Amino acid sequence: MSARRNSAVVPTPWSTVGPFFGITVTKANSVRAIAAPGSKGERVKLACAVFDRHGACVPDALIEIWQANAEGKYDHPADRQLKKIDPAFRGFGRQITDANGACEFETIRPGRVPGPLGKLQAPHLEAGVLTRGVLKILATRIYFAGDPANEECPVLALVPKARRTTLLAQPVAGAPGAWRHEIHLSGPRETVFFDL
């Protein structure tokens, strides 16, 4: 018998597959300010937090946000509306969550954009989430709690009423313009994700 046959196989420690955003997303390619100070519209400071199925924070998650400007126009060639583009408005943000699973964006409340059959959608931000072990972007939306347009939004209407709260950012008491949104990756409070 060879020594090889007598040696025991020792399992390697368990680890989560990447990606590891703390290595690749740096200050140089992070985008916190979706709207520069000169952007038109109602200023919003949006704090996001990511949690796992047990309610534990998820550090090193990547959140990307795309949104329309205050007029309801995306700065993208596919948006053929005759509305003006705001040169001070970027429309895109990217942050990684810190050790507490949180990050923050500075932006404006977006205008309403056309949806299915030309019906206007409620103001919202498109969000994509990636984290360790998640190899396909999780697409979701962030709406603003209490916005009257939420009741008539054709996309929000596709979500069962009991689950719509998972898409609503909540105002922060005593902090005008400050909002907080929690993203739960799974479990009883799982955020609604869209199959794109």
Instruction: Kindly state whether residue 65 falls inside one of the protein's structural domains.
Output: yes
Instruction: Name the more confident of 32 and 3.
Output: 32
Kindly state the average pLDDT of the residues 82-109.
95
Q: How confident is the model at residue 23 (pLDDT cuts 50, 70, 90)?
A: confident
Residue 12 has pLDDT above 80, yes or no: no
pLDDT in tens, 140-166: 999 999 999 999 999 999 999 999 999
Mean pLDDT score of the chain, rounded to an integer? Answer: 91
SS3 assignment for 47-65: EEEEECCCCCECCCCEEEE
Residue 42 within a domain: yes
More confident residue, 196 or 110: 110
Lowest pLDDT segment from 22-31, 35-44, 142-151, 187-196: 22-31
- Domain count along the chain: 1
Residue 75 lies in a domain: yes
Q: Is residue 3 part of a domain?
A: no
For residues 133 and 114, the model is more confident at 114
Q: Look at residue 2 and tell me if it is in a domain.
A: no
> Which residue would you say has higher pLDDT here, 28 or 38?
38
Residue ranges making up the domain that contains 65: 14-115+124-184
Residue 24: is its pLDDT beyond 70?
yes
| CATH number for the domain harbouring residue 88 | 2.60.130.10
Distance CA 69, CA 122 (A): 13
2-6, 69-73, 98-102: least confident range: 2-6
Using one digit for the tens of pLDDT, what is the confidence trace for 56-91?
Answer: 999 999 999 999 999 999 999 999 999 999 999 999
Is 196 part of any domain? no
| Omega before 19 within 30 of 0, i.e. cis | yes
Distant-in-sequence, close-in-space partners of 126: CB < 8 Å, separation ≥ 6: 65, 66, 67, 139, 141
Instruction: For the beta carbon of residue 103, count every other beta carbon within 10 angstroms.
Output: 21
**What distance in Å separates the CA atoms of residue 171 and residue 74, rounded to the nearest whole number?**
24
pLDDT of 4 reads 53
- Residue 1 domain-assigned? no
What is the chain's alpha carbon radius of gyration, rounded to the nearest angstrom?
Answer: 20
- Round to whole Å and give the CA distance between 95 and 60: 9
Q: Kindly state whether residue 64 falls inside one of the protein's structural domains.
A: yes
